[in-house]
Amino acid sequence: MSRPEEQPRDIRMRGFARRSSVDEAIAWVDGVSAVRADEQISLNDACGRVLANAVIAPMSVPPFERSAMDGYAVIAEETTGATEYNPLPFEVVGASMPGHAFDGSLVTGQAVRIMTGAPIPEGCTGVVPVEYTTAEGNRVCVTQPIPHSKHVGRIGEDIAEGTEVLPAGRVLRPQDLGVLASLGMDRVDVIRQPRVRIITTGNELAMPGSTREEHQIYDANTSILTALVARDHAVLESAERVEDSDDAIRAALTEGEVDVVLVGGGSSVGAEDFAPQIVAEEGTLPIHGIAMRPSSPAGMGQVGSKLVFLLPGNPVSCLCAYDFFAGRCIRQLGGRASDWPYRRATATLTRKMSSVIGRLDYCRVLLNDDKCEPLAISGASILSSTTRADGFVIVPPGSEGYAADSDVVVYRYD
């Protein structure tokens, strides 16, 4: 007889059976964060986007020999011996301008007036800069010799046909777009930006700009997450506040097509923390509860093709959990580096920073030159600590903290 399918255990008001390590949570994130698709967009919209495929030059740049100077195209060997006291005369037989080549071929004793970027005439072996010449009517006198090929830009000296111009994974810069344009490209294949939905839960929340009831607080997490999603180059599909009910949260988690769902609030084991159970029922919830401070109630799983991150409602916890896990996922889905986009500095602690073996700590700090002072705060709801802080220090789970005068790595918020 077949065994009935086991239903996910409802842990509301029961506590966490175990907490995953941060390393376990990161390993799960990295395992599900493969790039999903690419798209072709206009070159003019591609700055800052991630190149999906290596670009191989379909042509040489320049595609023809061209002058590197304003002056006169000549047979270089005929300028030997030219000086200001012994100017050598040449007959000017025409001109070569950018976009308009000289129609003919140079022979002994002739010169063609030429501008920078103009095609090199047939028979020319060098260009004399205009400052080394004097012109009189249809004659020009050369006052300095030039070697063979001087000031002649060769075919492919910038880019040779068939060479790799830009590698896959390149974050495109303005100069990269210029190179692609020089190859005649007006569109480019880039990795599609991940689509993100933000769901904020909590009946105690009031929206900024609205009237707050006596026992309500204003929602800060939506603003934090919206800015972080933009920082990590994702597309915000929607940001909505839903009531604390099974039906409302289930609909927000399951409807529509996005890559990532961020649930702000309701991630723990309280009576109205519906999201973890819904994710477990509708998909999988392999990570729920993490050995870290703050953000210990964070969780992550999958509903259909959607990757779901349960972020604690306390603002500092929400920020921390996003940076450790959701942001890492979003950046990788978009083809970017997984690491935090924070500058790092090494500083010396002014006093002891305590922690507990087995738990990772995210500690906000002040910087003063090369000195680092831990902020004397506790509690994941003290959001202003992140604005007063210059950055944060990570205390790994295998450590009881850092002694005063220890050198630590500071991740700067700026």
Q: Which domain holds residue 390?
A: 344-412
pLDDT for position 5: 46
182, 231: one domain: no
Is residue 105 assigned to a domain? yes
Choose the weakest-confidence range: 138-142, 210-214, 228-232, 315-319: 210-214
- Tell me how far apart the alpha carbons of residues 58 and 160 are, in angstroms, rounded to a whole number: 9
Is residue 210 assigned to a domain? yes
Res. 8 pLDDT band, cuts 50 70 90: low
- Asked if the model's pLDDT at residue 15 lies above 80, the reply is no
- DSSP class per residue in 68-89: SSSEEEE-GGGGTT--SSSPEE
- Tell me how far apart the alpha carbons of residues 341 and 221 are, in angstroms, rounded to a whole number: 20
264, 200: one domain: yes
Burial 188-217 (b: 16+ CB within 10 A, else e): bebbbbbbbbbbbbbeebeeeeeeeeeeee
Angle at 255 between CA 253 and CA 261, to 5 degrees: 40
224, 310: one domain: yes
Q: How many CB atoms lie within 10 A of CB 111?
A: 30
Number of domains, the chain: 4
In one letter, which amino acid is 137? Answer: G
Of 313, 333, 353, which residue is a domain's last?
333
262, 406: one domain: no
Is residue 5 assigned to a domain? no
- Tell me how far apart the alpha carbons of residues 394 and 353 are, in angstroms, rounded to a whole number: 10
How do residues 293-302 score in pLDDT, each as one tens digit?
999 999 999 9
- What CATH number did the domain enclosing 178 receive? 3.90.105.10
303, 212: one domain: yes
374, 405: one domain: yes
187, 120: one domain: no
How do residues 77-106 score in pLDDT, each as one tens digit?
999 999 999 999 999 999 999 999 999 999
In this prediction, residues 360-373 reach a mean pLDDT of 93
164, 247: one domain: no
138, 180: one domain: no
Is residue 4 assigned to a domain? no
201, 327: one domain: yes
Q: Are 356 and 400 in contact (CB under 8 A)?
A: yes
- What CATH number did the domain enclosing 352 receive? 2.40.340.10
Name the DSSP letter for residue 289.
-
Closest CA to 348 of 412, 414, 410: 410
- DSSP class per residue in 355-373: --TT-EEEEEEEEETTEEE
33, 71: one domain: no
* Greatest C-alpha distance within the chain: 110
- What CATH number did the domain enclosing 289 receive? 3.40.980.10
329, 361: one domain: no
Q: How many CB atoms lie within 10 A of CB 13?
A: 9
- Tell me how far apart the alpha carbons of residues 95 and 98 are, in angstroms, rounded to a whole number: 10
Q: Are 155 and 57 in contact (CB under 8 A)?
A: no
- Tell me how far apart the alpha carbons of residues 49 and 404 are, in angstroms, rounded to a whole number: 43
Is residue 297 assigned to a domain? yes
Is residue 86 assigned to a domain? yes
Alpha carbon of 305 to those of 254, 257, 301: distances in Å?
10, 8, 10
How do residues 141-196 score in pLDDT, each as one tens digit?
999 999 999 999 999 999 999 999 999 999 999 999 999 999 999 999 999 999 99
In this prediction, residues 107-113 reach a mean pLDDT of 97
Is residue 7 assigned to a domain? no
Is residue 13 assigned to a domain? no
- Tell me how far apart the alpha carbons of residues 11 and 34 are, in angstroms, rounded to a whole number: 31
Of 288, 310, 333, which residue is a domain's last?
333
- pTM for the complete prediction? 0.86
Of 281, 309, 333, which residue is a domain's last?
333
- What CATH number did the domain enclosing 124 receive? 2.170.190.11
pLDDT for position 1: 36
